[in-house]
Amino acid sequence: MLKAVSFLFVVAVIAAGAGPAVANDWKTYRYPNEGFAVEFPGAPRTIDMNAPAAQFVRGIQYLATDDAKNEYLGQALHYQKFIRQNNTTDKILRVVIDGAKDAAKCSIRSEKNYSFPGAFAREVVIEKCEGGVAGKSRVLLLGDWLYFVLAMGRPGIETSADADRFIGSFSVIGK
């Protein structure tokens, strides 16, 4: 039932490999339809995930690339109510984390629960990905919404101030 999530992360990884570099110009972008805000290092482009309607109400990604060609992805997936009702929190988070790891052909260096008000959340550091990249992400499950923020690039990005700035800037806002 949740296998489509793996496909969606393949879309994210493919999309993350495309696009021109932009100058670093950090600014907060608000997405009230998805209920979140996050700071990007440049204007992000929007990617409609064409999420399968049988599982999702909608799925959308926002992707920006900095001048060092690191990529910053903010993603929101709105599950159909029955998906959330019929799957445990851990199962949903596991499918998402493993789907992202497998799509980018990475290994997980670390994974830990992360405290976020009202949400179930995990912080994951990936490494040894295809193309020699690494990344740091947070996955948050808040009601029927799944949020995924990822900073990905050359090894070292996962401990960089820019990755921490991006991931730490994520906030939930009113819809």
In this prediction, what percent of the chain has a pLDDT beyond 70? 86
For residue 74, the cross-strand partners are 62, 149
Q: What is the mean pLDDT of residues 65-91?
A: 94
How far apart CA 125 and CA 156 sit, in angstroms, is 11
| Domain range 4-172, its CATH number among 3.40.1000.10, 3.40.50.2300, 3.40.470.10, 1.25.40.10 | 3.40.1000.10
Domain assignments of the chain as residue spans, ordered by start? 4-172
User: Residue 121: which residues within 8 A CB-CB, separation 6 or more?
Assistant: 113, 114, 115, 138, 139, 140, 141
pTM for this predicted structure? 0.86
How far apart CA 138 and CA 165 sit, in angstroms, is 13
List pLDDT tens digits, range 84-99: 899 999 999 999 999 9
- Per-residue buried b or exposed e for 133-170, using 16+ beta carbons within 10 Å of the residue's own CB: bbbbbbbbbbebbbbbbbbbbeeebbebebbeebbebb
Using alpha carbons, list the distances in angstroms from residue 90 to 5, 17, 84, 96, 141.
14, 29, 11, 10, 10
List pLDDT tens digits, range 16-52: 444 433 447 899 999 999 999 999 999 999 999 998 8
